[in-house]
């Protein structure tokens, strides 16, 4: 199915979802508590069959005090793409894990936790992926201060 | 008289072995350190001790290798003196080999060679 | 709401078997950062019982330079030189990805000459990368001569790059809005010479290594990755195609001039190390077919569409683009706030990162030597994992 | 331990004819050592492809210098090729590898990432800007990645340093960094004088503190100020 039809199908599946504008491919926005259920539905719904989680990342909208998590999905059966995003307040960035639905999310979520500091609840093995375990702070946040980082000379 | 050659042979080999070791022992710098003596594990601290119970297969393979290595060592002098050992020498060597072949077949049947 | 953050030491506690019991104890070994099988610095913590691997825990992060944080202070042209330091064996395809995504988002149309040269260069780079992988696979499995053969070809293809681009490894050639330089005058003739030279070489590779019974013994039926598991583990590229899933972006989403060239997607059947090995050998032949069809009629035209120093501003929004590199799908998520030519956030979906975790699913139960074969058949480049 | 190995050369030196014996022995040993330097393959990034693989390959052949046996374990290696960026998580491991190498050991830092953090110098929160904050480096080979021929020039510089400065009386003398690609106008005498002046005791490096500090910038200024030959 192409872009618009895909959006309608997902919104029909999950009424709380809304279309996310300003994206170059069909994108759906969903509140965090509905994420786990939608993920399961997206994979098991024969019409959608999103079985490949291509990419999972997080964006730090510091001005709007929220983190936006992006899941890019692909269906090897139908060959269409979908971007699922969910927003979480910066104060309590806790999101249900989807590693039960897509096993690769286990490590992609660990990377986002390591660099962005988003907690995934009942994630089987949540620990830092790249940095040492006693690293203070999460580097990819916009307000991350570190005197080791040399600024560009003016 | 011909024992002089054997003496020369033993002397030369001792010189090369001990000379090499002794020379480097005298000349090479020797600075043992705590980190230097730590076991090398790709740059990491080794986890847990090395004193564990491991698979018995290692020991069996070691034993079998030892037996057949020594056998090969015995075959060398026989091969050198093969021509003037005559027929009796040949039969004796075959008997010696036969005994070891029986040992090998026994180990094979008891699946000591399969790696668990 | 159970969020429990653990540390690496929870994993690294040595398993304690019963002292008196007869069964063998397990022990932990580091295939650590400095290891011949880790082409870079990747640490695998192996839980071993004698020779058999019980569990593999990869611990990357030894080359994590924080490229995504750096991208938040460089404009799109400056980011290009960072991309070819991630997966340096497919540097041109990394450059092409960022350029392609930025051009599509900014609405810059690129003329056919640039598209053809980009496709040619990407396919040559894929050949060069597979040739190096083939040599290093031989060296990993103990045969040193393929390493020498592999690098002989790599130098020959590298000479082509050097003439046009001037660099051997970090190309920085494909820019948003075109190319850095035009191709060398007799580029087409030289490419045809190299192709004529490479065709019998691939036959020589088969006789040298593929036909070798030891290699077949070491690769066949080892580390079988069934298609469902491969898709679930997010593997892409030759690893996924080796398991039988025909997912090749060059065919599904033709970019560049891949639609003008006629080639077929190479797919394995059983998904063991041998299939992943032979998929790459066949891909080399397909790359040669693509280059042959494209190298004769490179259309005329300028090699740069926008002025070199032009500021490229992306309208506000989130853009996801991906490309088929030698190791799988490399994706980039560019988030632009529409105000400046510096991206608000940039995330790279690295193929090696997702292919790495197949080791945790494939390795348990096999012996260490098979783990080496599995790791080498996944063809990982570590700086691409850590970024 | 070391009554024999450490004192013998000095004891012999005091005997009137001793120093001739030591220097001639030095010449022979240095000739043997410098023509069989075994590298410890320690590549983290793209320099690894150029420095360890491409140089070992048939086209640019490292075995002309007797160094093509790339050992993987530090126990059998003579010099460590640091090829690629070193990040904070890697620095202690690098120091441990360096400690586990047998004396006399040398370090060649290849690539601008190893020399100064290279393209990742700015805005990177994990890069160690310059490997000489972690291990004492003997030869720097600039370039990103340096061509295999540049690495050969670095190797030849190391061989020249061994011929000039190494002696069994004072084993494994730690030497200050010498730029492999010597700027124009540097004559061999300057080079020999440079090595003789740089014979210093080994300085202890606290890895965690050194990796975090930004002493690299001041270090380069001092070095340039001290050694730059005014035209």
- Residue-wise pLDDT for B78-103, tens only, equals 888 888 888 888 999 999 999 999 99
* Mean pLDDT value across residues C338-342: 86
For residue C367, list its beta bridge partners: C52
The residues, ordered by sequence, that sit 6+ positions from B63 with a Cβ below 8 Å of its Cβ are none
> Model confidence at C18, in pLDDT bands (50, 70, 90)?
low
Which carries the bigger pLDDT value, residue B24 or residue D4? B24
* B contact chains, 3+ CB pairs < 8 A: C, D
Beta carbons of C371 and C28 less than 8 angstroms apart: no
Beta carbons of C122 and C93 less than 8 angstroms apart: yes
Question: Judging by DSSP bridges, how do beta strands C328-336 and C317-325 pair with one another?
Answer: antiparallel
Angle formed at CA C176 by CA C165 and CA C185, multiple of 5 degrees: 30
Q: Which domains does chain B have, with CATH numbers?
A: 3-109 (1.20.58)
- Residue-wise pLDDT for D91-125, tens only, equals 888 888 888 888 788 888 898 888 888 888 888 88
- Residue-wise pLDDT for D122-131, tens only, equals 888 888 888 8
* Contact flag C245-A76 (C-beta cutoff 8 Å): yes
State the average pLDDT for chain A. Answer: 86
* Contact flag A151-D122 (C-beta cutoff 8 Å): yes
> Model confidence at B16, in pLDDT bands (50, 70, 90)?
very high
Res D33 pLDDT > 70: yes
- The pLDDT of residue B11 is 93
Beta carbons of A110 and A99 less than 8 angstroms apart: no
Percent of chain C with pLDDT over 90: 44
Could you give the count of Cα atoms lying within 13 Å of C107 in the half-sphere of its Cβ? 4
Res C193 pLDDT > 90: yes
Res B66 pLDDT > 50: yes
State the average pLDDT for chain D. Answer: 75
The separation between CA C319 and the C-alpha centre of its own chain, rounded to angstroms, equals 22
- The pLDDT of residue D1 is 42
* Contact flag B55-C50 (C-beta cutoff 8 Å): yes
Which carries the bigger pLDDT value, residue C238 or residue D41? C238
- The pLDDT of residue B95 is 93
B52 touching C (Cβ < 8 Å) = yes
* Contact flag C62-D97 (C-beta cutoff 8 Å): no
Res A152 pLDDT > 80: no
Distance from C-alpha of C30 to C-alpha of B30, rounded to nearest angstrom: 28
The residues, ordered by sequence, that sit 6+ positions from D159 with a Cβ below 8 Å of its Cβ are D34, D35, D37, D65
- Residue-wise pLDDT for A11-70, tens only, equals 887 787 788 888 888 888 888 888 888 888 888 888 888 889 999 999 999 888 999 999
Measured CA to CA in angstroms, residue C332 lies from C83, C110, C196, C232, C335 at distances of 10, 20, 36, 20, 10
* Mean pLDDT value across residues C56-70: 90
Res C310 pLDDT > 90: no
Burial class (CB in 10 A: 0-12, 13-18, 19+), D24: exposed
Distance from C-alpha of C275 to C-alpha of D82, rounded to nearest angstrom: 35
* Mean pLDDT value across residues C176-192: 89
* Contact flag D123-A146 (C-beta cutoff 8 Å): no
> Model confidence at C9, in pLDDT bands (50, 70, 90)?
confident
Could you give the count of Cα atoms lying within 13 Å of D216 in the half-sphere of its Cβ? 22
Distance from C-alpha of C210 to C-alpha of C213, rounded to nearest angstrom: 8
Question: What dihedral do alpha carbons C72, C75, C81, C85 form, nearest 10°?
Answer: 10
A37: enclosing H helix or E strand: helix A35-44
For domain D3-227, which architecture applies? 3-Layer(aba) Sandwich (3.40)
Altogether, the residues listed in chain A come to a count of 154
Question: What dihedral do alpha carbons C49, C51, C54, C59 form, nearest 10°?
Answer: 110
- The pLDDT of residue A34 is 86
- The pLDDT of residue D116 is 83
Closest C-alpha to A9, from A23, A26, A24, A34: A26
Beta carbons of C97 and C83 less than 8 angstroms apart: yes
Distance from C-alpha of C27 to C-alpha of B51, rounded to nearest angstrom: 10
ipTM of the predicted structure?
0.86
Residue C89, both tokens: 């064996």
CA atoms C122, C124, C127, C132: torsion sign: negative
Res D173 pLDDT > 90: no
- The pLDDT of residue A69 is 92
Res C160 pLDDT > 60: yes
- The pLDDT of residue D201 is 31
- In this complex, the residue of D4, D100, D172 whose CB is nearest that of residue B40 is D100
Percent of chain B with pLDDT over 90: 34
- The pLDDT of residue D34 is 87
- The pLDDT of residue D172 is 60
* Mean pLDDT value across residues A83-104: 90
- Residue-wise pLDDT for C80-90, tens only, equals 989 888 888 99
Beta carbons of C275 and C313 less than 8 angstroms apart: no
End-to-end CA distance of chain D: 50
* D contact chains, 3+ CB pairs < 8 A: A, B, C
- The pLDDT of residue D171 is 64
* Mean pLDDT value across residues B56-60: 84
**DSSP codes joined into one string, C156-209:** HHHHHHHHHTS-SS----EETTEESSPPPTTHHHHHHHHHHHHHHHHHHHIIII
* Mean pLDDT value across residues C273-279: 92
Residue C368, both tokens: 């260490």
Residue of B nearest to D99 (CA): B36
Beta carbons of A149 and A127 less than 8 angstroms apart: no
Beta carbons of D57 and C151 less than 8 angstroms apart: yes
Task: Give the number of beta-carbon pairs within 8 Å between B and C.
Answer: 51
* Contact flag A107-C357 (C-beta cutoff 8 Å): yes
* Contact flag D74-B28 (C-beta cutoff 8 Å): no
Helix-then-strand count for chain A, H and E:
3, 7
- Give the distance from residue C30's alpha carbon to the nearest chain B alpha carbon, in angstroms: 6
CATH class of the domain defined by A3-92? alpha beta
* A contact chains, 3+ CB pairs < 8 A: C, D
Determine which of B51-65, C163-177, C299-313, D196-210 has the lowest per-residue pLDDT on average. Answer: D196-210
* Mean pLDDT value across residues C323-345: 91
Give C-chain residues touching A76 at CB under 8 angstroms.
231, 245, 247
CATH superfamily label, C67-386: Cytochrome-c3 Hydrogenase, chain B (1.10.645.10)
Beta carbons of D127 and D85 less than 8 angstroms apart: yes
- The pLDDT of residue D223 is 60
Res D192 pLDDT > 60: no
- In this complex, the residue of A57, A76, A104 whose CB is nearest that of residue C333 is A57
- Residue-wise pLDDT for C108-159, tens only, equals 888 899 999 999 999 999 999 999 999 999 988 988 889 989 989 999 999 9
Give D-chain residues touching A116 at CB under 8 angstroms.
none
Distance from C-alpha of C242 to C-alpha of C370, rounded to nearest angstrom: 17
Could you give the count of Cα atoms lying within 13 Å of C296 in the half-sphere of its Cβ? 6
> Model confidence at D199, in pLDDT bands (50, 70, 90)?
very low
- The pLDDT of residue D174 is 54
Task: Tell me phi and psi for residue C206, to 5 degrees.
Answer: -60, -45
State the average pLDDT for chain C. Answer: 89
- Give the distance from residue A48's alpha carbon to the nearest chain C alpha carbon, in angstroms: 15
**DSSP codes joined into one string, chain D:** --HHHHHHHHHHHHSTTHHHHHHHHHHHHHHHHHTTPPEEEEE-SHHIIIIIIIHHSSSS-GGGGT----BSSGGG-SEEEEES--BTTTHHHHHHHHHTSPSS-EEEEEHHHHHH-GGGSBS-SSB-S-GGGTS--SEEE-SSSPPHHHHHHHHHHHHHHHHHH--SSS-S-B---EESSPPTT--HHHHHHHHHHT-BPPPP--HHHHHHS-HHHHHHHHHHHHH----
Chains B and A touch (3+ CB pairs under 8 A): no
* Contact flag C28-B48 (C-beta cutoff 8 Å): yes
Which carries the bigger pLDDT value, residue D231 or residue B6? B6
């Amino acid at each position: 199915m192409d872009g618009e039809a895909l959006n309608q199908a997902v919104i029909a599946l999950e009424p709380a979802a809304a279309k996310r504008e300003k994206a170059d491919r069909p994108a759906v926005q969903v509140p965090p508590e509905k994420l786990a259920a939608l993920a399961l539905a997206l994979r098991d719904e024969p019409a959608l069959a999103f079985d490949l989680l291509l990419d999972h990342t997080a964006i730090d909208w510091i001005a709007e005090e929220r983190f936006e998590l992006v899941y890019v999905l692909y269906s090897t059966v139908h060959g269409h793409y979908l971007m699922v995003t969910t927003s979480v307040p910066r104060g309590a960035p806790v999101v249900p894990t989807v590693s039960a639905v897509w096993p690769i999310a286990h490590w992609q979520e660990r990377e986002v936790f390591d660099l962005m500091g988003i907690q995934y609840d009942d994630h089987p093995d949540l620990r830092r992926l790249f940095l040492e375990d006693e690293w203070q702070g999460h580097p990819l946040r916009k307000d991350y201060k570190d005197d080791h980082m040399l600024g560009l000379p003016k | 008289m011909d024992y002089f050659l054997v003496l020369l042979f033993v002397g030369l080999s001792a010189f090369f072995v001990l000379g090499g070791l002794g020379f480097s022992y005298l000349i090479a710098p020797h600075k043992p350190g705590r980190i230097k003596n730590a076991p090398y594990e790709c740059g990491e601290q080794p986890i847990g001790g090395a004193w564990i119970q491991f698979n018995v297969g290692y020991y069996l393979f070691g034993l079998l290798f030892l037996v057949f290595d020594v056998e090969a060592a015995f075959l060398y002098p026989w091969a050198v003196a093969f021509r003037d050992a005559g027929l009796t020498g040949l039969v004796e060597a075959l008997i010696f080999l036969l005994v070891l072949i029986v040992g090998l077949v026994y180990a094979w049947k008891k699946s000591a060679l399969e790696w668990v | 709401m159970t969020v429990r953050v653990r540390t690496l030491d929870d994993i690294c506690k040595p398993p304690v078997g019963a002292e008196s019991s007869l069964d063998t104890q397990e022990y932990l070994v580091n295939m650590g950062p400095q290891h011949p099988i880790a082409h870079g610095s990747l640490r695998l913590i192996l839980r071993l019982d004698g020779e058999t691997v019980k569990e593999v825990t990869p611990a990357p992060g030894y080359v994590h330079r924080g490229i995504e944080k750096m991208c938040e202070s460089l404009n799109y042209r400056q980011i290009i030189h960072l991309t070819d330091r991630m997966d340096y064996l497919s540097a041109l395809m990394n450059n092409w990805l960022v350029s392609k995504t930025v051009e599509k988002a900014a609405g810059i149309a690129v003329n056919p000459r640039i598209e053809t040269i980009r496709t040619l260069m990407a396919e040559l780079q894929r050949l060069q990368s597979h040739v190096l992988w083939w040599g290093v696979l031989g060296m990993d499995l103990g045969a040193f001569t393929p390493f020498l053969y592999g690098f002989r070809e790599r130098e020959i293809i590298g000479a082509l790059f050097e003439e046009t681009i001037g660099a051997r490894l970090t190309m920085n050639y494909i820019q948003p809005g075109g190319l850095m330089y035009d191709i060398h005058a007799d580029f087409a003739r030289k490419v045809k010479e190299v192709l004529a030279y490479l065709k019998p070489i691939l036959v020589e590779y088969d006789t040298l290594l593929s036909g070798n019974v030891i290699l077949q013994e070491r690769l066949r039926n080892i580390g079988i990755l069934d298609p469902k598991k491969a898709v679930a583990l997010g593997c892409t590229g030759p690893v996924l195609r080796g398991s039988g899933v025909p997912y090749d972006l060059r065919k599904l989403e033709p970019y560049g001039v891949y639609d003008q060239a006629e080639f077929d997607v190479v797919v394995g059947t059983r998904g063991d190390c041998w299939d992943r090995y032979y998929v790459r050998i066949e891909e080399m032949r397909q790359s040669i077919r693509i280059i042959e069809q494209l190298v004769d009629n490179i259309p005329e035209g300028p090699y740069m569409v926008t002025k070199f120093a032009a500021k490229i501003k992306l309208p506000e929004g989130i853009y996801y683009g991906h490309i088929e590199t030698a190791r799988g799908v490399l994706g980039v998520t560019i988030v632009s706030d529409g105000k400046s030519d510096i991206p608000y956030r940039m995330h790279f979906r690295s193929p090696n990162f997702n292919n790495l975790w197949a080791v945790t699913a494939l390795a348990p139960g096999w012996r260490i030597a098979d783990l080496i074969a599995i790791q080498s058949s996944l063809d990982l480049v570590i700086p691409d994992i850590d970024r | 331990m070391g009554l024999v190995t450490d004192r013998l050369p000095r004891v012999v030196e005091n005997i009137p004819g001793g120093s001739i014996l030591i220097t001639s022995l030095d010449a022979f040993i240095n000739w043997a050592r410098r023509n069989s330097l075994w590298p410890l393959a320690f590549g983290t990034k793209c320099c690894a492809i150029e420095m360890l693989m491409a140089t070992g390959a048939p086209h640019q052949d490292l075995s002309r210098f007797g160094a093509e046996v790339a050992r993987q374990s530090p126990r059998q290696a003579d010099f460590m090729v640091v090829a690629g960026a070193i990040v904070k998580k890697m620095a202690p491991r690098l120091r441990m590898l360096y400690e586990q190498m047998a004396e006399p050991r040398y370090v060649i830092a290849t690539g601008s990432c190893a020399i100064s953090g290279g393209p990742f110098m700015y805005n990177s929160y994990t890069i160690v800007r310059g490997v000489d904050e972690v291990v004492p480096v003997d030869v720097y080979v600039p370039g990103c990645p340096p061509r295999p021929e540049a690495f050969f020039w670095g190797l030849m510089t190391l061989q020249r340093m061994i011929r000039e400065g190494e002696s069994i009386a004072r084993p494994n003398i730690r030497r200050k960094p010498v730029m492999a690609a010597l700027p124009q106008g540097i004559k061999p005498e300057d080079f020999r004088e440079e090595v003789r002046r740089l014979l210093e005791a080994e300085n202890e490096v606290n890895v965690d503190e050194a990796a975090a500090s930004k002493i690299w910038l001041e270090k380069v200024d001092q070095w340039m100020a001290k050694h730059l030959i005014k035209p």
